[in-house]
Homo-oligomer: A and B are copies of this chain.
Amino acid sequence: MTEAAARDWLDANEPALRDRLYDFVRLPSVSTDPAYAEGMGQAAEFLSTYLRDIGFDRVAVNATPGHPILTGEWTGAPGAPTILVYGHYDVQPPDPLDQWQSAPFEPTLRDGRIYGRGISDDKGPLMVALGAMEALMATTGALPVNVRLLIEGSEEMGSAHLEDFVVAHQDLVTADFLLSADGAMWRADLPSVTVASRGMAALNVTVRGAAKDLHSGRYGGGVPNAAQVLVEMLAALHDPRTGAVAVPGFYDGVAVPDNETRAALADIPFDEAAFLEGLGVKKGAGEAGYSFLERNWLRPTLEINGMSAGYTGPGFKTVIGATAEAKISCRLVPGQDPMRILELLEAELTRLCPDCATLSIARKPGVAWPSALPLDHPGLRLAMDVLEELYGQPARAVRMGATIPIAEMFDRVLDMGTVFFSFSTADEDYHAPNEFFRLERWQDGLRAWVAYLTRLAKAA
């Protein structure tokens, strides 16, 4: 049996796979800082060699205006499904260095956790996926399904050139769905798969009263105060009784969560009070009648992300600022079109701005669409089954309040669903000092990916 043989191979070879992971982590592939250019080159070279060693064909280090994107494929299973496996080889900068307990680019095992920059995001989870495929190739000379690889080097820079690459090289990425080695699991105590993310649209509002700042004594009371105008406009964007967004049309197309969905969320073990307390929050806030998870996962929002007006330095200055500015973003759920939301918001701001002030609006370049995988997607069902078997408890379909760029982009550009099958966890301090990856999750992940690929072939 393919899966059993590969598992035996893993049991024997896990230490060697782990050594390879450590070698990979030692290469300082920080994409955002040109000082690490050598580390980026080494990491791309390391990976492409490894991919060829495993047995992938057409392995290529594709130049882009940013860092190279690695591709490769194994298509020796005609009739079987084809998946696109996604990961990234770049990591966050290691600063602040003095807060690391061991050197960021020297992987160190302590108390069941392997510490190192990028080991959780995304080098560990990526090597989980590749290690599982190595095990399958080593034991059977083949993979159970067709696999294409897309491993980028600019994820920590916002994947700037990935969309252009995907659009230009669809032959390299064509697949039934995307299986992502990136994207952390929500919690260590709960097996879960992320199935949806919210979209985003944002804009900057500027209100002008007078041509220049005016003295609040000599003019105050009789001239428009841009800050006052702005707070009145912003306050009017929510219904004070319900906390709902009060922009006309904002909820058009948004489904009220049905009882089944709400029950599934309520069934997820989640201590809302402890969670909020951990954030230093006295009391939850938001749309009345919903739990935190419902508000964050199922409902769209309008948030003020920044605001400035008049004098903001130390002490006081009795000035009436000529302008006041706010940055506003909306998180969107299925049924909402980000461009339409921007139009509605702009229309409402225009309506709310009084005659005494001048309004100008600048959209944040780029929007993100909400994205959701149907709960009956076969790749998703399989992921949940594998997790349930591994952990002895049902896996949960969870959502993200934030945008997940890779899922949003593949959904939008290629109409391709993304199944997240990463074994890192959201608490592993990625983007922070002392990033770590749980040793047990590394081992779990190797077995889970072997199981997933094997059973995907059978399910087809």
Contacts and interface: CB of A to CB of B under 8 A. Distances in A.
Interface string A287-330: 10011110110011101111111111101111111101111010
A281 B400 contact: no
Interface stretch (A32-40, A225-233, A337-345, A436-444): A225-233
Contacts of A400: 217-218
A282 interface: yes
Contacts of A308: 307-309, 312
A287 B96 CA distance: 53
Contacts of A331: 216-217, 220-221
Given A221-B301, A281-B224, A301-B220, A318 B307 contact: no
A174 interface: no
A215 interface: yes
Point out which of A214, A282, A355, A400 has the most chain B C-beta atoms below 10 A from its C-beta. Answer: A282
Contacts of A224: 281-285
Interface stretch (A100-108, A163-171, A203-211): A203-211
Contact of A219 (B215, B324, B355, B401): B401
Contacts of A235: 231-232, 234-236
A55 interface: no
Nearest to A357: B282
A283 B356 CA distance: 5
Contact of A306 (B227, B291, B357): B227
A120 B198 CA distance: 62
A364 interface: yes
A377 to B, nearest CB: 23
Given A210-B279, A228-B238, A331-B221, A305 B357 contact: no
Contacts of A69: none
A218 B401 contact: yes
A138 B217 CA distance: 42
B358 A282 contact: yes
Nearest to A315: B364
B316 A220 contact: no
A228 B303 contact: yes
A351 interface: no
Given A200-B318, A218-B400, A235-B235, 11 more contacts: A209-B281, A211-B280, A222-B401, A223-B276, A229-B285, A230-B307, A231-B234, A231-B235, A283-B356, A304-B310, A306-B312
8 contacts: A216-B301, A219-B279, A222-B293, A282-B358, A285-B356, A303-B320, A305-B311, A312-B327
